[in-house]
């Protein structure tokens, strides 16, 4: 089976993704300098705000924070952990950019990568923010639904068959009309709002991501109505479901989320996909349907030694409460 390893590079490590994210409008951020697009000075992220909402802790930071990449990237730059000299150079460079911030967050590394990174530069804090879920396509007892529970397996097939018989079809669009993008963005934001999070996406950001090579809009179309959709990215034999949602009013009739997942897993082998990356959040649902979670750890480096006593206890509380919320 394919596993996430320290050396894995993902679509979020590509120049094309970094260029697209420089046009994002959902986070208040700016590149720390023109030479290292990986480093951002972050003032506000709806994603981080969501973590604060889930835990009830309130704001963690009272100043901007320097980050490697974005919370909107499914994975951080774990591949760097196998190159200690590059980690050291990045950390030295970041140290010169920390003035006026709460420090540096190295975001969303798989655990092994986080531990290797920490050997090069021990952090002042370490927090597990999330899990990224994936399925190895074709693995398990059933080539499509894998090793899910027998009841869930039969129910999933039944729901897919019913949706197909009712006329739901999967539509892929590499150059979608703006109104179709708006439909999927609205569904994605609806999922966030249902969980008490702020609005996470907007059209400008979605259009920027859709400009990445291999990007496409995936929609469950029911007689001209978009009942589920994703902004997706294909890269290196993986399909990443970056942002998406569904119309909850039609779940009993056509189960649009399960329909899309079944279709993608069914067509994966003929497309040459090895993994379906399902992103973060909705942990219980993803586990129920056979997706494996990779813990994502973030390392914090204080801008000032005096800040350690202020922020390390807050990050420790965030780690504990998020773990409980995510069922860990």
Would you state the pLDDT for residue 2?
A: 42
Specify the DSSP element, H or E, that contains 168: strand 168-173
Q: Are 289 and 258 in contact (CB under 8 A)?
A: yes
Would you state the pLDDT for residue 1?
A: 36
| Burial zone of 183 (CB within 10 Å; 0-12 exposed, 13-18 middle, 19+ buried) | buried
Q: Are 99 and 64 in contact (CB under 8 A)?
A: no
Would you state the pLDDT for residue 291?
A: 96
Please list the pLDDT of the chain residue by residue as tens digits (328 residues): 345 555 689 999 999 999 999 899 999 998 887 656 689 999 999 999 999 999 999 999 999 999 998 999 999 999 999 999 999 999 999 999 999 999 999 999 999 999 999 999 999 999 999 999 999 999 999 999 999 999 999 999 999 999 999 999 999 999 999 999 999 999 999 989 988 999 999 999 999 999 999 999 999 999 999 999 999 999 999 999 999 999 999 999 999 999 999 999 999 999 999 999 999 989 999 999 999 999 999 999 999 999 999 999 999 999 999 999 888 8
Tokens, residue 248: 């909850």
Three-class HEC string of 104-147:
EEEEEEEHHHHHHHHHHCCCCEEEEEEEEEEEECCCCCECCCEC
Would you state the pLDDT for residue 111?
A: 95
pTM above 0.85, yes or no: yes
Would you state the pLDDT for residue 36?
A: 62
């Amino acid at each position: 089976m394919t596993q996430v390893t320290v050396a894995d590079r993902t679509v979020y490590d590509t120049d094309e993704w970094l260029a697209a994210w420089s046009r994002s409008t959902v986070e208040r951020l700016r590149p720390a300098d023109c030479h290292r697009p990986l480093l951002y000075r972050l003032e506000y992220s709806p994603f981080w705000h969501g973590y604060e909402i889930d835990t009830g802790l309130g704001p963690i930071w009272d100043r901007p924070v320097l980050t490697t990449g974005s919370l909107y990237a499914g994975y951080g730059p774990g591949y760097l952990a196998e190159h200690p000299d590059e980690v050291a150079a990045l950390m030295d460079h970041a140290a010169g950019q920390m003035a006026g911030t709460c420090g540096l967050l190295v975001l969303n590394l798989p655990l092994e990568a986080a531990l290797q990174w920490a050997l090069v530069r021990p952090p002042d804090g370490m927090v597990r923010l999330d899990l990224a879920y994936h399925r190895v396509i074709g693995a398990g007892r059933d080539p499509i639904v894998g090793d899910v529970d027998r009841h869930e397996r039969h129910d999933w097939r039944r729901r897919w068959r019913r949706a197909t018989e009712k006329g739901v079809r999967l539509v892929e669009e590499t150059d979608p009309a703006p109104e179709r993008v708006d439909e999927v963005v609205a569904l994605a934001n609806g999922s966030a709002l249902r969980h008490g999070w702020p609005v996470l996406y907007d059209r400008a950001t979605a259009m920027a991501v859709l400009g990445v090579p291999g990007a496409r809009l995936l929609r469950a179309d029911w007689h001209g109505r978009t009942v589920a959709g994703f902004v997706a990215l294909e890269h290196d034999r993986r399909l990443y479901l970056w942002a998406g949602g569904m119309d909850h009013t039609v779940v009993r009739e056509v189960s649009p989320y399960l329909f899309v997942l079944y279709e993608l897993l069914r067509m994966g082998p003929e497309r040459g996909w090895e993994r379906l990356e399902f992103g973060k959040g909705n942990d219980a649902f993803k586990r129920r349907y056979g997706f494996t979670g990779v813990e994502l750890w973030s390392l914090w480096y204080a801008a000032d030694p005096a800040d350690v006593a202020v922020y390390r206890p807050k990050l420790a509380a965030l780690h504990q409460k998020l773990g409980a919320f995510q069922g860990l």
